[in-house]
């Protein structure tokens, strides 16, 4: 091999590798999302519809909302589907995300053992329920993972005026929602859950709803594209395809159509949000 040809080989190989990498990444979208959308089975139902229509392959990374937004800040993902509105607004205001849209909602519930040792079943006031639970000394498991559910739970305790950390009845798990529900069934203990994940785990855990129906327990979800001006390597084009699809009539109808044991777990929000503007 002549020296000129030898010198060209690394350059050609490098270009070929770069082209292969781009080809491998083209059409792949990294979605960081809360564990509730994964544990509930919603994404396994929704995403194939989007993938078939768009030709985009979605890689799901299911973590707490806080961690999902940290990944967005670092540019490790392309789009977020989360449920922590205050943190979402801060994320966008800081320039990490763009084009946030309301997607859907469900609600939070307090669930626990069927024997109801805290005597709170049937309650519709989450603060009163947690206050009574703490007074009873019944076990309570916290997500402890800076997820949207964890942030909301901590806010409830703050409103109640109780610092649960360090109490013998308070367990900090550092786990996703499905794992915490399983743990609550085994312990047994109470926990705060989104209704969708509870619905998917109800039969296997035997946990019962203790507190529900409080307006404070409203649980909205939003979708946010990671800002390409902050992270040029993100797949913004495909991120916006997902944003557009999930808030389109087709995507919103798909969300409304997802049921577990005949129960609708998520309720579309984008059309309602647009109508209110």
Query: CATH code at 136?
Result: 3.40.190.10
Looking at the structure of the chain, the number of domains it has is: 2
90 and 76 fall within a common domain: yes
Q: Could you say which of 217, 251, 266 is where a domain stops?
A: 217
115 and 136 fall within a common domain: yes
Q: What is the pLDDT of residue 135?
A: 98
CB atoms within 10 A of CB 174: 13
20 and 83 fall within a common domain: yes
138 and 155 fall within a common domain: yes
Q: How far is CA 35 from CA 82, 144, 272, 275, in A?
A: 9, 13, 25, 29
CB 209 within 8 A of CB 109: yes
The two tokens of residue 121 are 């079943």
Q: What is the pLDDT of residue 270?
A: 79
Q: What is the pLDDT of residue 277?
A: 43
Q: Could you say which of 217, 244, 265 is where a domain stops?
A: 217
Q: What is the pLDDT of residue 210?
A: 99
The two tokens of residue 29 are 């979208």
Could you list the residue range(s) of the whole structural domain that residue 24 is in?
Answer: 3-105+221-275
pTM: 0.80
263 and 139 fall within a common domain: no
Rounded to whole angstroms, how far apart are CA atoms 159 and 176?
A: 24
60 and 191 fall within a common domain: no
Q: What is the pLDDT of residue 25?
A: 52
Q: Could you say which of 217, 234, 266 is where a domain stops?
A: 217
Please give the helix or strand (H or E) that residue 140 lies within, else none: strand 140-142
185 and 205 fall within a common domain: yes
9 and 38 fall within a common domain: yes
121 and 141 fall within a common domain: yes
Rounded to whole angstroms, how far apart are CA atoms 99 and 240?
A: 8
CB 13 within 8 A of CB 38: no
Q: Which residues of the chain have pLDDT under 70?
A: 1-26, 271-277
Rounded to whole angstroms, how far apart are CA atoms 241 and 260?
A: 27
27 and 90 fall within a common domain: yes
For residue 4, what are the β-bridge partners? none
111 and 133 fall within a common domain: yes
Q: What is the pLDDT of residues 110-137, one digit of tens each?
A: 999 999 999 999 999 999 999 999 999 9
- DSSP code of residue 56: P
Place of tokens 């129960």: 263
74 and 205 fall within a common domain: no
């Amino acid at each position: 091999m002549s020296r000129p040809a030898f010198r060209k080989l690394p350059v050609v190989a490098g270009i070929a590798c770069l082209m292969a990498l781009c080809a491998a990444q083209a059409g792949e979208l990294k979605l960081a999302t809360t564990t509730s959308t994964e544990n509930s089975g919603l994404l396994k139902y929704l995403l194939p519809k989007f993938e078939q229509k768009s030709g985009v392959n979605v890689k799901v990374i299911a973590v707490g909302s806080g961690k999902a937004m940290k990944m967005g800040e670092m540019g490790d993902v392309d789009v977020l589907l989360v449920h922590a509105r205050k943190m979402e607004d801060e994320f966008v205001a800081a320039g990490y995300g763009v084009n946030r849209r309301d997607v859907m909602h469900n609600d939070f519930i307090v669930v626990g053992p069927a024997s109801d040792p805290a005597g709170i079943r049937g309650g519709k006031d989450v603060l009163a329920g947690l206050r009574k639970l703490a007074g009873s000394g019944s076990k309570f498991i916290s997500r402890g993972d800076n997820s949207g559910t964890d942030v909301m739970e901590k806010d409830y305790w703050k409103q109640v005026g109780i610092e649960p950390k360090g109490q013998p009845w308070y367990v900090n798990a550092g786990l996703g929602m499905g794992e915490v529900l399983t743990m609550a069934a085994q312990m047994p203990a109470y926990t705060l859950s989104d209704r969708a994940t509870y619905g998917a785990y109800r039969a296997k855990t035997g946990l019962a709803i203790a507190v529900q129906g409080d307006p404070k327990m409203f649980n909205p979800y939003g979708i946010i594209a990671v800002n390409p001006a902050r992270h040029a390597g993100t797949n913004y084009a495909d991120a916006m395809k997902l944003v557009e699809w999930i808030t389109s009539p087709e995507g919103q109808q798909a969300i409304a159509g997802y049921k577990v044991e005949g129960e609708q777990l998520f309720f579309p929000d984008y059309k309602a949000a647009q109508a209110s503007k």
